[in-house]
Amino acid sequence: MTAHTNTAGTWTLGDLTVNRVGFGAMRLTGRAAFTSTGDGASRDRSIAVLRRAVELGVNHIDTAAFYFSPRLSANELINRALAPYPDDLVITTKVWPGRDPSGEWWWATPGQLRGQVEENLRQLGRDRLDVVNLRVPPSERTGSIAAHFGALADLRDAGLIRHLGVSNVTPAQLAEARGIAPVVCVQNPYGVGSPAGQRELLRLCGEQGIAFVPFFAIAGAGREAGAGATSGSTSGSGSGEPEAVLDIARDRGVTAAQVRLAWTLGQGAHVLAIPGTGDPAHLEENVAAGALVLTEDEMKRLDAIS
């Protein structure tokens, strides 16, 4: 199953039009992207994956300065692979979390966000960032984000950022951000089996014309570790995949990951997918999933998974 990513349609992030199947850069640096241990990623292969993604029509790449392993940086790989950038390429990044060279996490104050933005600019080799998401830490899931989002709004007014988004937020935090500056996208965890609370935010984004960009749409409960080694298989059990996903994959002759992506895109025209991989074959499969349209019955079977 092969297809150009345009088959899934487009959406706009402010004044930027993107194809609904994009690319997440986290896995370019290997599965150890958030640790100080070794990684299994290859620089040449990661660069080849990025270039192939653009050839397939991907024009929306999600990244962050904190996506790095001991040998590789996602931002710098993007720069190396794609600069000078295509005119229609939209690169989205995120700030608030940070990691020091040893891999230890830290969280920026509002006054430190400019430094994080400038680091993304330097690594990517750009004068202005297309979209910057404020990634809310778990400790602030019920707190105010006004000070941090207001600082990003000031950086947008200063010309360093074109558009703003939010990530890992509640409906109340989205409303708070929108009271400060326009929000073009929301990045939250979402996929087959997501709880009702996450679905409510997806609905709200659709009503407000905001792109909803789920992460872990394929990985599910595997999160940063990724989907199980056999979760893409169309046969057999023990993969950790719900039977409904595997049954539909077998019936359609596709992978479980493609079923998950098709279900995600079927949630609404405002839903964008950013599956990530460092594997060229998986990239082709992910892009091809944009052409897979599930039936109403198949969507209902997947909706029922809890």
Q: Which two tokens stand for residue 58?
A: 């991907």
Question: And the tokens for 131?
Answer: 């979209």
HSE of 166 in the Cβ direction (CA atoms, 13 Å)? Answer: 30
Q: Which of 11, 23, 67, 85 is catalytic?
A: 67
* Catalytic site includes residue 190: no
| CA-CA-CA-CA dihedral for 291, 297, 303, 306, to nearest 10 | -120
Q: Among 66, 20, 17, 73, which residue's Cα sits nearest to residue 50?
A: 73
Match 């984000």 to its residue by tokens: 145
Dist. CA 18–CA 12, nearest whole Å: 6
By CB atoms closer than 10 A (0-12, 13-18, 19+), residue 75 is: buried
Dihedrals phi, psi of 49, to nearest 5 degrees: -65, -45
What are the phi and psi torsion angles at 53 (to 5°)? -60, -45
Instruction: Answer whether 183's CB lies under 8 Å from 210's CB.
Output: yes
Question: DSSP secondary-structure letter at 271?
Answer: B
Residue positions annotated with a catalytic role: 67
